[in-house]
């Protein structure tokens, strides 16, 4: 288990140092801002939605390691998915971080690399850092004008 944990930490660290899909998206047709006042994480998610499918996604902003890594890995996870698939993925990710222990194993296939955040469950304050990008994503999909917040 500790090996697995090291591997998870390495992956999170890698995404923190080298965030994927970082910056403004050229052909973005929806975007939203997100803010986690508890930690001070701020980010913007840009989406290019085509016929209900996430054709492109990027993010920018500044925050702690967990929020940056989570946003980075989210962009990799949702590209090419439909709105409904993204919603399901968000729910599973949320369950992974807040739900009972046994849920994570059952759904780990679908979550893919996102399971690296399972350790965040032990640090409730960090759960908001890890879910900020997802709340912001949901706001962007709804064309929400108000910034998303974890509060
Ligand atoms: Zn944070």
Q: How many whole angstroms separate alpha carbon 90 and alpha carbon 3?
A: 27
Residue 51 CA to ligand 1 centre (angstroms): 33
pLDDT in tens, 17-66: 999 999 999 999 999 999 999 999 999 999 999 999 999 999 999 999 99
pLDDT in tens, 125-147: 899 999 999 999 999 999 877 88
Domain chopping of the chain, boundaries: 2-143
Residue 52 CA to ligand 1 centre (angstroms): 30
> What pLDDT, on a 0 to 100 scale, did the predictor assign at position 108?
65
Q: Say whether domain 2-143 belongs to CATH 1.10.10.10.
A: no
Residue 62 CA to ligand 1 centre (angstroms): 9
Torsion, CA 53, CA 150, CA 61, CA 24, rounded to 10: 20
Decide: pTM greater than 0.75: yes
Residue 86 CA to ligand 1 centre (angstroms): 22
């Amino acid at each position: 288990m500790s090996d697995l944990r090291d591997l998870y930490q390495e992956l999170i660290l890698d995404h923190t140092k080298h965030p994927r899909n970082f910056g403004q998206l050229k052909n973005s047709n929806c975007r939203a801002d997100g803010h986690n006042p508890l930690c001070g994480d701020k980010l913007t998610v840009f989406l290019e939605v085509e016929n209900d499918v996430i054709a492109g996604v990027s993010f920018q902003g500044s925050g702690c390691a967990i929020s940056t890594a989570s946003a980075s890995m989210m962009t990799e996870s949702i590209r090419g998915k439909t709105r409904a698939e993204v919603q399901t993925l968000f729910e599973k990710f949320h369950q992974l971080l807040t739900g009972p222990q046994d849920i994570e194993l059952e759904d780990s296939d679908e979550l893919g690399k996102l399971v690296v955040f399972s350790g965040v469950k032990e640090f409730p304050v960090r759960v908001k850092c890890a879910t900020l990008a997802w709340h912001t994503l949901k706001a962007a999909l709804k064309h929400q004008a108000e910034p998303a917040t974890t509060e």
